[in-house]
């Protein structure tokens, strides 16, 4: 009696359906972590209290800005103004600038609180090990924590969006202002949440990770300005320029006091200047610079004089001036009259956003490595389950 031998056939390569199933399974694990996190957050009464306080504060800032603008206009209308003096923008522009700056400030303060204890908070409570012994991968746990923190922070941006839309309805702005500003605010919040979750996965104590996250945000907001100021002092250089001939300080068609019209005359001579364009990349990492430089402000042509815009627009002008360097800002550099209002030729925000994303990505990658089990080494006193 002979036995028949059956040879195994060639292994079939994974098809497109298998790949789609793997992606769907991975995203499903992230969704489960997000749902779990959001249920825990929504059960907390403090989250709703914070949201209500946020809405009330933004409403108060909007009302005060509108009242301040109306008071300033009453004072201006009571004074004699020469013919030809440009009229200021309506209250919509002022409200938009102030609310946007205020929202970005508080978003940078709220996002670390929502993300900096996302991982080590569960570790301290003994619930992280429960997730790690399931079929969830470290990447699914980390991305789920990040998405949950980001969604919680987006709720605060959604609560402030009616006031930005209200500013557009008052005139002087376009819907592109609100769309771009909200998009960039959401991206900046995502960056801060990524930094917070990454540090939370690396640090052993929630308090330590919260402090480090706030210090990182402070380094981006304030430290970038300090680094730029110190770096500029090391960029001494020269530029060829002749002498500006000012026409006076009086008002005129299209002119503003303090910024008189001038012409350039005389021979070109070497002038000592600061080469700000060499260290402008340090300034680009600032979240305010990223948001301000991305907003599509209308081109203000027809006058070489400075336009006294709002806070965010002036930040954008400062970043453009730093990137332009002395060739684009020094009076009569290369014998040219320099415009006081700089148009956006080379945007600075893509560089700054790329550097921020690189920092957040590095921290998330290090946090992903720290979530792998079994862990080779744990900090003393770390709770496992």
pLDDT score, position 2: 47
DSSP string covering 35-89, please?
HHHHHHHHH-HHHHHHHHHHHHHHHHHHHHHHHHHHHHHHHHHTS---TTPPPPP
User: Helices (DSSP H) in the chain: which residue ranges?
Assistant: 16-43, 45-77, 91-115, 120-125, 128-132, 138-169, 175-202, 206-218, 224-232, 280-284, 287-294, 311-324, 326-329, 349-370
Any residues with CB less than 8 A from the CB of 341 and at least 6 apart, and which?
300, 303, 305, 306, 307, 317
> Which residue in 132, 120, 126 sits closest to 198, CA to CA?
120
pTM for the model stands at 0.80
Residue 278, judged by CB atoms within 10 A of its CB (0-12, 13-18, 19+), counts as middle
* pLDDT tens for each residue of the chain, 385 residues long: 444 444 444 545 555 566 677 777 788 888 888 888 888 777 777 778 888 888 888 889 888 888 877 777 676 666 655 544 455 566 777 788 888 888 888 888 888 888 888 888 777 777 777 887 778 888 888 898 999 989 988 888 888 888 888 887 876 677 888 888 889 999 999 999 999 999 998 887 888 889 999 999 999 999 999 999 898 888 888 888 787 777 654 444 444 444 557 778 778 878 888 888 888 889 989 999 999 989 887 665 444 444 456 778 888 888 888 888 888 777 877 777 777 777 777 788 999 999 999 999 999 999 888 887 666 666 665 555 4
The single-letter DSSP state of residue 6 is -
């Amino acid at each position: 009696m002979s036995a028949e031998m059956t040879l195994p056939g060639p292994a079939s390569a994974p098809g497109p359906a298998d790949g789609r199933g793997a992606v769907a399974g991975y995203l499903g694990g992230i969704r489960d972590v997000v749902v779990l996190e959001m249920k825990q957050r929504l059960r907390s009464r403090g989250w709703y209290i914070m949201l209500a306080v946020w809405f009330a504060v933004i409403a108060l800032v909007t009302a005060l800005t509108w009242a301040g603008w109306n008071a300033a206009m009453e004072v201006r209308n009571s004074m004699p103004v020469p013919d030809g003096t440009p009229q200021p923008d309506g209250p919509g522009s002022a409200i938009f600038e102030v609310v946007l700056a205020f929202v970005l400030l508080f978003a940078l303060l709220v996002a670390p609180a929502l993300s900096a204890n996302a991982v080590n908070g569960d570790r301290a409570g003994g619930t992280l090990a429960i997730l790690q012994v399931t079929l969830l991968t470290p990447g699914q746990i980390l991305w789920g924590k990040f998405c949950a923190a980001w969604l919680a922070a987006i709720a605060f941006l959604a609560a402030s969006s009616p006031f930005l839309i209200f500013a557009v309805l008052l005139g002087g702005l376009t819907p592109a202002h609100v769309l771009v500003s909200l998009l960039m605010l959401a991206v900046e919040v995502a960056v801060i949440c990524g930094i917070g979750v990454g540090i939370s996965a690396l640090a052993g104590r929630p308090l330590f990770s919260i402090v480090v996250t706030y210090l990182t945000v402070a380094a981006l907001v304030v430290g970038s300005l300090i680094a730029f100021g110190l770096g500029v002092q090391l960029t001494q250089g020269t530029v060829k320029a002749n002498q500006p001939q000012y026409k006076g300080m009086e008002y005129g068609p299209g002119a503003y006091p303090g910024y008189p019209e001038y012409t350039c005359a005389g021979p070109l001579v070497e002038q000592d200047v600061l080469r700000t364009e060499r260290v402008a990349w340090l300034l680009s990492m600032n979240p305010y610079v990223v948001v301000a430089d991305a907003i599509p402000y209308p081109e203000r042509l027809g006058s070489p004089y400075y336009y006294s815009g709002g806070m965010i627009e002036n930040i954008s002008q400062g970043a453009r001036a730093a990137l332009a360097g002395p060739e684009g800002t020094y009076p009569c550099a290369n014998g040219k009259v320099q415009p006081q209002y700089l148009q956006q030729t080379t945007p600075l925000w893509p560089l700054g956003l790329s550097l921020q994303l690189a920092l957040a990505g590095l921290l998330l990658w290090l946090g992903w490595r720290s979530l792998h089990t079994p862990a080779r080494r744990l900090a003393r006193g770390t709770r496992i389950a």
